[in-house]
Each structure stands twice: as C-alpha cells, then as structure tokens.
Structure 1
C-alpha cells in the first residue's frame, strides 16, 4: 500500500509570507519510509519508487525474494532494521543488470544481505552502480555473479566499509567479489572479502584507491563458513594503476588459488590520466602455496612501489619490480601466529618484528602512511596503538 506523502512520517512545513513582494517557502522535511510485513511498503522497491530525495528507507528484517529494481532517486539512505533483511534476486534482474541498479547519486546502503544476482551476460551484480557517489556499510553480499559492479564515472567516490563479500563470481574469471570501474576514488576499509569464485576478491580501476584494514582470504578445502570455499585469482587487483594505498591489511592466499600473485598492480597498462604510485605499508601477507608466489606484482609503473613494514609469510618473491623501495619488511617461510588454523593472524612475540618497523615518510601531497588501525573480525576495525618504541612490522602490534 502506498501512503499519502502527507502522512505522519513526513512533516511538511510550508508557509508563505510577503517579503519585498516575494513568497518564501521552507521545503518539506525528509520522510522515513518503512518496509516490511504490516508496514507502509511491502517491499524495498516499492519504497524506492515512492521516495523523494533525502528520505530514509528502513527495511525490516526478513526475506524479500525477487524484489529487483532500479533506484532512480538521489540522496537516499537505505537501512536494514530489526535484523538484516535478505534480498534474494530469485532469478530476476532489473534492467538485465542485477538486483538493485543504483542510478541515483549520493546513495547510502546500510545493513543488508544480497544474493542470487545473475543475468544472461554472466555479470549480474547485487549492486550495479551508475550514479555519482555511493556508500555501502555493514552488509553481506554473497553468491552473486558480482557483489558490487560500477561503471565509469570519474566524478564519483565509492566507499565500501565494514562489509563481507563472499563467493561472488560466475566462475569464468570476468566477475568478482567487488569490481570497481574507472571512478574518481575508491575507499575500501574494514571489509572481509573472501572466496571469490575464480575472480578477484577486489578489482579496482579507480584513479585513486585507499585499501586499508581489510582481510582478504579464503576457506581451505573442506572447511565451512559463511559461504562455500572459493578459488580466487588475485586478492587485490589494480589493473590500471593509479595512486594506491594498501595499508594494514591481512592478505592471505590459499594453496588452491588461480594465480600465484597476491597483489597485482598495473598489469593492463597505466594510462596518461592517472599516476602510478603504489604504497604497500604494514600489511601481513600469508601465502599457503608452497611452490609459487609473488606477494606484490607490479607492471608498467613509472615509479617504484614503496613497501614498508610488511610481514611476508610463506613461499614467494616479495616483488618482481626491481625499482621498488623495500624498507624494514620481514619475510619468513613459516611465521608464527596466535592461531593460524582458526585465522587468528596476530603475530606471536618475535624480536624480528617487534619494534622493528620504521615511520614511513608521507606520500606526495603530505598523505600520512602510518597504520592507524587494525582489522578486527568480522568486518570491523580497531585503533592501532604503538606499544613499544617503534611500530611493529605487519598488520598488528604484538600484544
């Protein structure tokens, strides 16, 4: 049922007065549109169609099957309440693209679960981004052909934080957990991206990338988790370069991976529209493949990558780039962690990494490269305090 927009959820202040011969009116206040059983709107898509710019749409916990549509309005906040609503595409797709096609700008989506996005072209997305500026928080996107897929929009900033992405990908290597096209900026922080199905756990063509305090990993064969085990290619793929900060992440590649490199940068060429500076700072890399591996693969970059305070555990070459600057990193074939089998990847006490890091010089433009947080499972972060005289090597301080 669609309610009259003058109902109690929208308080309209409208008055007119004559000031120097002109009428002055105050615009309507934002509404809260409620979705769910017994609410004003039975499904999210019905609320999206009725919304006006600035509205808050609250979706009650429950399952919404086949509720696919385009979101045309801008400046909306869409939030799950009283549980996390499950949006199951159930064999349907909006505009032959995916579950929710975000055409409007300045959209924020918070606390939803989305699954089942599939289209004949094999690139169906739970969230297909076509507007300018988008934020996704506290959500779980799994078992889609793409979790998030964006187009080209260099005016757009995409922020993905505190989300879980798992088992997305058709299986042909062209679809991924997250695939960000040529946007202006990507901020990817405090996320858990794992088990991409043949594709990458994160792929970004953004001109400027901040990838900080995330966990990239996959289940081992036979293990159970929030999704089935996957067989990803790269953990992080930045194929066209751009200014990229990879800071404070846990990056763990399974033995059964589709590519021996863990981070790939610039492999498809770096255009004249972007920089080629890469900063890899205070990450913990773990390679479970005992026969092959490159932790940071760099191609076509005009400048050397800066690798500072990283912990590399397992077999492999730190980087193939001969011009890379490597400062106070540490590599071990089998470093000791609190409980690697249970994915507690905090380091055991070790004089080899405790107080062994250095303070990285700021990046161009004065951007600080200091690790200010650490990843906390599940899809969260915690402040990182230096516990000794210097920062420890890796994504965590030794406690």
Structure 2
C-alpha cells in the first residue's frame, strides 16, 4: 500500500478481511508504506508468515491512524519499525488473541516511533506476548481496557495467556492514565506493567501512572509496575486503585500519592468484567489533583473507558477526584 494521504474506511457494516495464512511480501495482510494513512472500521485476521511475525498491519510509512477496527488471531496485530518522525494514533479498536505463541509477537508492537497515542482501545488475550508493547519515544496510553479471559472462557476471541499488559521496554516520556488493567491467573509473566526493563539509552525516563484501576488475580506473585534498574527518574504513581496481591512498584524511589490498595476491592460485577468500584470512603473523594508533568502536560484523567472500545467524559462528582479509572456513581 504505497499511496499517501489516504483514508480506507469500511461502510455498510465492518468488512472482514481473512488472510487465511497468506500475506503481502511475507510481512502482513496490508503493508502500509505510504504516509499519513488512516484506516477506519475493518476486521482483519489470519495473518501468518514464515518468520512467525505475520501482522494484520505492517507500518513502514510516516504517520498512521487506525480507528474502530478489530484485529485478532494474527501472529501480530500491528507491527511497526523504526521511524522517529512518525506519529501513530490507535483509538476505539479491539485487539485480541494475536501472537504466534513464542513471546516475540504481540497484540500491538510499536517500534521506535516518535509518538504513540493509544486510547479507548480494548486489548486482550495476547497469545503469550504482550497486550501492548511500545518502543516509541513518547507514549500516551489512556482510557483503555487491558484484560483477558479466564481459562476456559470464550469471548470475542479465545482466551490467551498474555505476558505484560503494557510493556514500554526502553522507557520514553510515558503517560498511563485512566486505564482498566486486569491480569488473569496463569499469565506468562506475573508483572502487569513493565517500563525500561530492556535499557533506556537515548530515551527520556519520566513515567506517570495516574488514575488507573489495576487488578491482579494472581494470589502470590506479581508487581503492578515493574521499573527497570536503569531508570533513575522516580516514577509518579497518583490516584491509582490496586486490587490484589503485589507491591505497587519495584522502584524504591517511586513517588506514590493518594493510591489505594486492598487484597479485594468491591466492583459492580467483577465476574462479568464490570470493573467500576463500589462506593468506598477510601476511594470516593480520596484522590488529589495530579497536576502537570515535567513538560507541562496535564495529568488529569479527563475520560473513562466504556466497553467496548469506547470512552465517556469523566466529571468530578464530589469535592475531590475519586481514586481509580472511574468516578464512583
């Protein structure tokens, strides 16, 4: 796909593009080599290649946007290379059960791009790999749901056994705001979010984790936020709700403000993945105004995830912010 400044949009329903194990150039269903490409409302599945990293979409151009789409059961959902001039925007999409099963292929794998914006997405059940992996220099990961089915369950895809829910292996200025992040029992890595664990040379190292709801269903293993030893900038953890076993952060210098943790938090219907918290005086009006990042960006959670692959505006209902990804109704 070489043309630039192009929008491809499914109409009169969502087109289903079944690769059936075939690919373009031994890479992907679509190889996007043009610049300023937008893809809207498609479903893509079944990509396989000899190298075991066949993607629904292989990004090779500069600047890419995808909305309202469903990528599932490929060896990679999206795979991009190195292009620090590129901005990638992924919003209102579902990614499910992508990955060859070797741990090197993922639901979404963004290479060293300039900027990634990942919002209002539902990423789940990566097959051994990560639900999101990004090496971008600047990451905004906001108002998404990262969760996977329990063993034996079937949803829009089969159940997977993901590794990290979010992996930012080289660091970079990273905002993780307003997400619902749930780790099932028996995943391939007990840690939930990883940052800078592969080395941070050439990257900024400021991490902001604000107003997320974390749930660890493992009873005896896992960290909520694992920060690599080479990261010297203290991560900021503000207004997060942590349910389940595990320390909040591996980084001793992390700055933790107005977070709440309990082994079991009450939710509207956890069994059905309705992860809005029940009223609790330690959550309601218990947050703080999170302020701004070092570069002046607001850390305020302005929206909340709405299932499926959508969002709603978040309005403070009381005198202070509530802790977690939702205002308690």
Task: Classify the TM-score, shorter chain.
Answer: over 0.9
Residue deviations 1:268-289 (CA, integer Å, cap 9, x gap): 00012x2100000000000000
Distance of 2:295 and 2:197 partners within structure 1: 26
CA distance in 1, matches of 2:140, 2:36: 19
The match for 2:16 among 74, 86, 90 is: 86
Of 156, 159, 181, 1:229 maps to 159
Larger CA deviation: 204-213 vs 88-97: 88-97
After TM superposition, give the deviation of residue 90 of structure 1 in Å: 1.4
Counterpart selection for 2:242 from 301, 305, 312: 312
TM-score by length of 1: 0.82
How far the C-alpha of 1:91 sits from its partner, in A, is 2.1
Unaligned runs of 5+ in 2: none
1:141 is the counterpart of 2:71: yes
The residue matched to 1:364 in structure 2 has which SS? coil
Which residue number corresponds to residue 355 of structure 1? 285
Number of aligned residue pairs: give it: 328
Deviations 1:224-245 (A, max 9, x none): 2000000000000000000000
Match of 1:333 in 2: 263
Q: Give deviations 1:127-172, integer Å, cap 9, x for gaps.
A: 0000000000000000000000001000000000000000000000
**What does residue 158 of structure 1 align with?**
88
Residue of structure 2 equivalent to 1:289: 218
Query: What is the aligned counterpart of 1:277 among 185, 197, 206?
Result: 206
Question: What SS does structure 1 have at the residue aligned with 2:149?
Answer: coil
Q: Identify unmatched segments of 5+ residues in structure 1.
A: 1-70
Whether 2:190 is the aligned partner of 1:260: answer yes
Q: Which structure has the larger Rg?
A: 1
Query: What's the CA shift string for 1:259-317, capped at 9, x where partnerless?
Result: 11100000000012x21000000000000000101000001212000000000000111
Higher relative contact order (CA 8 A, sep 6+): 2
Give the deviation of 1:389 after TM superposition.
Answer: 0.1
Q: How does 1:7-86 map to 2 (within 5 A)?
A: 71-86=1-16
- Distance in 2 (CA, whole Å) between partners of 1:302 and 1:320 is 12
| Structure 2 counterpart of 1:19 | none
- Structure 1 counterpart of 2:318: 388
- Residue 335 of structure 1 deviates from its aligned partner by 0.2
Deviation at 1:79, TM superposition (A): 0.2
1:48-92 deviations in whole A, cap 9, x for unaligned? xxxxxxxxxxxxxxxxxxxxxxx0000000000001000111121
- Coordinate RMSD, CA, aligned: 0.5
Could you tell me the TM-score, scaled by structure 2's length?
0.99
Report the 3-state secondary structure (helix = DSSP H, G, I; strand = E; otherwise coil) of the residue aligned with 1:341.
helix
Q: How does 1:143-222 map to 2 (within 5 A)?
A: 143-222=73-152
